[in-house]
Amino acid sequence: MKRLTKQVQNPTQRLSSQNLQLQDAVRQFFIQLGENPDRDGIKETPKRFETAIKYLLGGYDRSFENENKLFDNLTNYKDIIILKNINFFSMCEHHLLPFYGYAHVGYIPGKRVLGISKLARAVDIYSRRLQDQETLGNQVAEAVMKTGKAKGVAVLIEGRHLCNAARGVEKNHSIMVTSIYSGKFETDINLQNKFLELIRERKSI
């Protein structure tokens, strides 16, 4: 699997509980728009923005390695384990606009199995960062493959992008679909088809 993991510093580590520099940047943004940053409707917005951005980018403060939980594969289970319809919200790194949708993650366990909620945690951790959809899928697959000690991982993501709906081509019904296969899934078309069949009945965005 091609490694696309980004080596980045944690931007939220530079945000204190009250980051006046960040709040001032928001005030300056309002001024550039011709707004009065002290009017009632927006004078508290810089503080609210700081709180919101810390939550939206909270994945930088989290590690899948630290939140992962493995159990012995006591039944020697060898088939696909899937968690589908994992809703996510992320922030497009190109335009700083949200994209959201569903991720569907499947893996083949080895001697250990993941706690099922950890597949959702992997999606949550990596989606709460500045992202593009292709990298998000790769990072989730790599985390489950490496930390989960899986024999193979499949990830399919369906997302709606506001940068594609609210600006640019303005196609608000368009859905971006990406898939990543690693390990046994990478070269086995039958496994890929089985994964796709198992997630065929899934939530629509």
Assigned token pair, 2:
């091609």
Highest CATH level, class, for 66-198: alpha beta
pLDDT tens profile 155-186? 999 999 999 989 999 888 899 999 999 999 99
- Are 158 and 175 in contact by the 8 Å Cβ rule? The answer is yes
Please determine, looking at this structure, whether the domain spanning 12-56 carries the CATH number 1.10.286.
Answer: yes
- Quickly list H helices, the chain: 20-33, 45-56, 64-67, 117-127, 133-146, 162-165, 184-187, 189-198
pTM summary value: 0.87
- Domain edges within the chain: 12-56, 66-198
d(C-alpha 31, C-alpha 28), whole Å: 5
Handedness of CA 52, 49, 132, 129 (dihedral sign): negative
Q: Fold match between 12-56 and 66-198? A: no
pLDDT tens profile 26-74? 999 999 999 999 999 999 999 999 999 999 999 999 999 999 999 999 9
Residue 12, pLDDT score: 52
- Are 204 and 166 in contact by the 8 Å Cβ rule? The answer is no
Per-residue 3-state assignment (H helix, E strand, C coil) for 20-77: HHHHHHHHHHHHHHCCCCCCCCCCCHHHHHHHHHHHHCHHHHCCHHHHCCEEECCCCC
